[in-house]
Amino acid sequence: MSLRGLLQFVACLALMLPALAFASERTPKPDIIIANPGHCVAPTEIMRRNHPEMLLHQRDLTVHEGIRTTKYNLERCVACHASKTTDSVLGPKGFCQSCHAYAGVTLDCFECHASKPKLATGASQ
Amino acid sequence: MSSDEGLSRRGFLAISAAALGGVMLAPGIRLIEIAAARAPDQPASSKVRWGLLIDTNKCQTGCDDCVSACATENGIKSSGHPRTDSQWIRKIELKDMRNGRTHSVPVMCQHCAEPPCVLVCPTGASFKRADGIVLVDRHICIGCRYCMMACPYKARSFVAQELTDQNPDVPRGKGTVEGCTFCVQRVDRGQQPACVDACTKAGHNAMTFGDLNDPHSEIAQRVAQYATTAIRADLRTDPGVRYQGL
């Protein structure tokens, strides 16, 4: 086989790999329990890719300027996405932690922010 | 989930509150300051300067209603290490040794117009909001504690222990510096800080919160009428917290 042919074969194989991987049952997937599917502030594909930027932008507006709109509010994310069994977005099957663990991305938000909705923590208004 | 619905409802409530609160109780004294009713999508305005006036003649020795209300609102609990526990507000007992006169006063972040903590912060985490509230952006605080050294009022604390079960409105965490925020989450909703609320509800009325820039507000009128003191006025930090009768 010529070098060019070999390269073409390798390229084809590389292109097919993701499709093969997703077709396979052996690929691990995050084990998430979604409490309220389909009610988010943007379509799922946009949320999956852009939720860090949304939260980052909102956090600066809120902390520095006192703008407290509710659309990209982390408190509301937690209120809606908290598991109905554990009342939290953390935990092995929790909405935030399960996917972050799968993707290997550190999840720092909840070292400071509450991972449970307001009523569940019993905090005062 | 539509945010527009929530906004319009909140906006309506804010306007209603402004209309109700605008009713004059006495000349120049309103139930709620109109300036407090800011829409959630509006940034804090530099036309407002939030201030707190503490009447030391009314503040009782041994009363810590303001301290406990602060702890409840902001989720401050003892970690079992009293020397490093966070302290956003504390009661100070003062005694003039010449004549025996005593004062008991709460001291918290004085929300200076010229805050030394902001000057020294190497990351910009310590900052003053447009309406005069001095805050720590704990997303960019590296926990160096320069601000704690610079503050002449010992108003800031470092969180040395891991925290759990924070109040959803008041995120707090290990490795960052924190201090009194004038209950910014409440102020942005048009409410008063928790300490002021507790003091008023208990009938002490030793604390008055409001806009120092609004000549019609109760606090501005009292500051104009009575002699008030800033702690360590010699440092020219121009605090937003002022003391009457000290």
Q: What is the pLDDT of residues B159-190, one digit of tens each?
A: 999 999 999 999 999 999 999 999 999 999 99
Q: Give the whole-angstrom CA distance, residue B82 versus residue B78.
A: 7
Beta bridge partners of residue A102, listed in sequence order: none
Q: Is B23 on the interface with A (CB under 8 A)?
A: no
Q: Is A124 on the interface with B (CB under 8 A)?
A: yes
Reply yes or no on whether the pLDDT at B198 is more than 90.
yes
**Burial of B141 from C-beta contacts in 10 A (0-12 / 13-18 / 19+):** buried
The beta-carbon neighbor of B174 closest among A64, A111, A123 is A111
Reply yes or no on whether the pLDDT at B196 is more than 50.
yes
pLDDT band at B79 (very low <50, low <70, confident <90, very high): confident
Looking at this predicted complex, what is its ipTM?
0.79
Q: What is the pLDDT of residues A25-77, one digit of tens each?
A: 788 888 888 888 888 999 999 999 999 999 999 999 999 999 999 999 999 99
Chain B residues whose beta carbon lies within 8 Å of the beta carbon of residue A40: 1
A64, A89, A109, A116: best to mutate for the B interface, most B CBs within 10 A? A64
Is there a contact between A40 and B1 if contact means CB atoms under 8 Å apart? yes
Residue B102 lies in domain: 3-244
Reply yes or no on whether the pLDDT at B34 is more than 70.
no
Predicted confidence at residue B1, as pLDDT, reads 42
Rama region for A75: left / alpha / beta (φ>0; ψ in -120 to 50; rest)? alpha
B53 to B50, B180, B218: CA distances (angstroms) = 10, 15, 10
Chain A residues whose beta carbon lies within 8 Å of the beta carbon of residue B41: 67, 69
Chain B residues whose beta carbon lies within 8 Å of the beta carbon of residue A119: none
The beta-carbon neighbor of B137 closest among A64, A69, A123 is A64
Q: Give the whole-angstrom CA distance, residue B128 versus residue B121.
A: 12
Q: What is the pLDDT of residues B136-163, one digit of tens each?
A: 999 999 999 999 999 999 999 999 999 9
Q: What is the pLDDT of residues B89-110, one digit of tens each?
A: 999 999 999 999 999 999 999 9
- Closest residue in chain B to residue A80, using alpha carbons only: B1
Which residues lie below 8 Å from residue B174, measured CB to CB, with a gap of 6+? A111, B159, B160, B161, B162, B163
Reply yes or no on whether the pLDDT at B26 is more than 80.
no
Q: Is A119 on the interface with B (CB under 8 A)?
A: no
Q: What is the token pair recorded at A59? A: 């956090």
**Structural domains of chain B, count:** 1
What is the model's pTM? Answer: 0.80
Beta bridge partners of residue B135, listed in sequence order: B127
pLDDT band at A3 (very low <50, low <70, confident <90, very high): low
